[in-house]
Chains A and B, each alone.
Chain A
């Protein structure tokens, strides 16, 4: 059962535009992570949000965790071609002594000049 839905699935924008990606869950997670994946590579962690309502900024990227810790958003200001990639959210939960990540469906972003 897919627990994390991302929208939109695809996004093609021009350099300088703003965009928001949404990650919605049917479950509560102890924290939520955002990854970026480039072609031919594995996902790379961008940020972890832990507290409901938390907002984190990473240069032009702003991440928000919903108050109920079931949804999150990623906002990119003034997108650049280097932002192109697959963005994945992932819910983090501990299972005994192990950690488990449940990944979202992904948003593929293309930024053109």
Chain B
């Protein structure tokens, strides 16, 4: 089992460009999450999903959109990237009310 995988590992964008981060899990987990990690701030929840076709806002959702068209995939989109979105992005998945398993992260730089 690969667990939780994220694509790409690194990306550099110019302000205003768009991109999509892909998260995939092979553990048949119902729940999936997107976090961002910034120095001195821990991880903050962006959006999450409790099942295929459902998404909800987390703590810092502005500037991001998500989609969960398949149970195993959770996509995070940036429509118009800003320097404030420079961060490391982590995806996680879990069974309901259980331990979250994290992917290796995507390091995004917006110039």
Contact = CB atoms under 8 A, between A and B. Distances in A.
Contact of B104 (A2, A40, A99, A104): A40
B42 A103 contact: yes
A88 B102 contact: no
B45 A101 contact: yes
B41 A40 contact: no
Secondary structure dominating the interface of A: strand
Contacts of A44: 102
B4 to A, nearest CB: 7
Interface string B91-111: 010101111101111000000
Contacts of A4: 42
Contact of B43 (A48, A88, A94, A99): A88
Chain A CB count within 10 A is highest, among B42, B58, B98, for B42
Nearest to A106: B42
Contacts, number: 56
A97 B100 CA distance: 15
Range class of the A interface residue count:
20 to 34
A98 to B, nearest CB: 5
B105 A99 contact: no
A103 B40 contact: no
Contacts of B22: none
B34 interface: no
A99 B94 contact: yes
28 contacts: A40-B104, A40-B105, A41-B104, A42-B90, A42-B102, A42-B103, A42-B104, A42-B105, A43-B43, A44-B102, A45-B99, A88-B43, A90-B43, A94-B97, A97-B96, A98-B31, A98-B50, A98-B96, A99-B98, A99-B100, A100-B48, A100-B58, A101-B100, A103-B35, A103-B43, A105-B41, A105-B42, A106-B42
Interface of B: 4, 31, 35, 40-45, 48, 50, 56, 58, 90, 92, 94, 96-100, 102-105
